[in-house]
A = this chain, B = another copy of it.
Amino acid sequence: MNSVEPNVIPFPTIRRFPAYLRLLKDLAGNGKEWISATTLAEDLKLKPIQVRKDMACTGVEGKPKVGFQVSELILAIEHYLGWDDTTYAALIGAGNLGSALIGYKGFVDNGLRIIAIFDKDRRKVGRQVGGIVISQLEDLAETVKELKIHIAILTVPAEAAQSVAEYAVASGIKGIWNFAPKSLNLPDGVVIQKTDLATSFAELSAKLKASE
């Protein structure tokens, strides 16, 4: 790469990165050192040309007839996503979904560590979930500063989402992963990522309809 460009990677490619990463780690675990775009494509049900384009975004160069070095790809993708560093997160909303996320083992692969839990409900404060004591929301700002927390994972009811998000931003949170089914309006510069079950189910519904 000779260009001075900051190397912007298209979002569709970024969304495919985790699937590549998992497959590559599997391959590495099985002692495989090289992999071709053709094979990756087959396993992930993508077209080889698309995989080659995606791999080009990682900056890793392949060898004709051989493919790409597995370890090199893993490092490049992990580094691009920042998953080789730990991101500390606070979870807000210790309900069903929140507890499930606390218990989710997969986040270690993403360098994501939930190290604090908050809830508005005073009756929950003091209880533990997954070995972490639930704190009162009022302590958020202090904890964010103290533990160098960058992101908040929002698993509160829809009605509370906007106000809690504003409170989180005021407490120093830079990024919000919003699981509440509510679109958030926050100042520019705050990063928002929504994960919405209904959106995903809508896709499934449309596909089912189309397949009939």
Contacts and interface: CB of A to CB of B under 8 A. Distances in A.
A49 interface: no
Interface string A96-124: 11011001101101101000000000000
B198 A195 contact: no
Copies in the complex: 2
A177 B206 contact: no
B106 A96 contact: no
A196 interface: yes
B174 A112 contact: no
Interface stretch (A7-15, A62-70, A134-142, A163-171): A7-15
Nearest to A203: B193
Give the interface size bracket for A toward B: 35 or more
A50 interface: no
A146 interface: no
A156 to B, nearest CB: 13
A147 interface: no
Q: Is the interface of A mostly helix, strand, loop or mixed?
A: helix
A95 B80 CA distance: 32
A82 interface: yes
Interface string A190-205: 0101011111111111
A99 B95 CA distance: 11
A106 B197 contact: yes
Given A189-B211, A193-B204, A211-B191, A198 B44 contact: no
Contact of A181 (B11, B103, B106, B158): B106
A180 to B, nearest CB: 10
A99 B104 CA distance: 12
A14 B199 CA distance: 8
A202 B18 contact: yes
Given A96-B99, A208-B175, A202 B151 contact: no
Q: Which 10 pairs of residues, A with B, have the shortest CB-CB distance?
A: A100-B100, A193-B204, A18-B198, A96-B103, A96-B100, A195-B200, A81-B205, A191-B207, A97-B100, A14-B206
